[in-house]
Amino acid sequence: MSEVRSEQLVHDFRATMARLPGGVTVVAVRHGRLDLAMTATAVASVSLRPPMVLFCVHTDARLREALDEVDSWALSILDGSGSVAAERLAEPGRPAVGQLVGIEHRRGPHSGAALIEPAQGWLECRTAWIRTAGDHDVVVGDVVDVAAGSTGTGGLVHHLGRLRTLS
């Protein structure tokens, strides 16, 4: 396949996949004294028995590197008022230090990672396995704890390149 055709395929793929609404979450890791967090829309339930979930992360992301040393992490399913946190934690090149300054959160009792407030729910997970898939890695985790939040503010989805609130 020619390079021009390959780039066109990537462009068309991105434009087409942007039409698929995706739930907006934040994945967080506590790496020593450092909090690392990122917005993730490539998240899916994998199994009910045992409870497992997956997310995808760019192979060269700081959070991905931390997962080589830390095996537990937290997933916050953002609610409709979480767009500021989602946008900030999606910015490429943001500093590693102070990522959660000004973002309401609490610590997960199992992972020590940030659980973002407000959210529809939270999961704490332990990494089961990581596999490379193109320019991203797929991280699958065993769910070790889960909590549901309030549903009064609707959900947050990413669709056509924008964050949108579902009421």
Structural domains of the chain in order of their starting residue, each with its CATH number: 22-166 (2.30.110.10)
> Looking at residue 34, what is its pLDDT?
96
**Stretch 1-24: mean pLDDT:** 88
Alpha helices (runs of H) in 114-162, residue ranges in sequence order: none
**Stretch 71-76: mean pLDDT:** 98
> Looking at residue 152, what is its pLDDT?
67
**Stretch 159-164: mean pLDDT:** 90
For residue 70, pLDDT over 90 is answered with yes
Listed in order, strand segments (DSSP E) in 34-154 are 34-40, 43-47, 52-58, 72-78, 105-107, 114-116, 119-133, 136-148
- Output the furthest CA–CA distance in the chain (Å, rounded): 51
Burial (CB count within 10 angstroms: exposed 0-12, middle 13-18, buried 19+), residue 144: middle
**Stretch 80-101: mean pLDDT:** 93
Whether 105 contacts 119, CB under 8 Å:
no
**Stretch 87-99: mean pLDDT:** 93
Residue pLDDT, tens place only, 123-140 = 999 999 999 999 999 999
Sign of the C-alpha dihedral computed for residues 11, 86, 31 and 109 taken in this order: negative
**Stretch 111-122: mean pLDDT:** 95
For residue 150, pLDDT over 80 is answered with no
Residue pLDDT, tens place only, 31-62 = 999 999 999 999 999 999 999 999 999 999 99
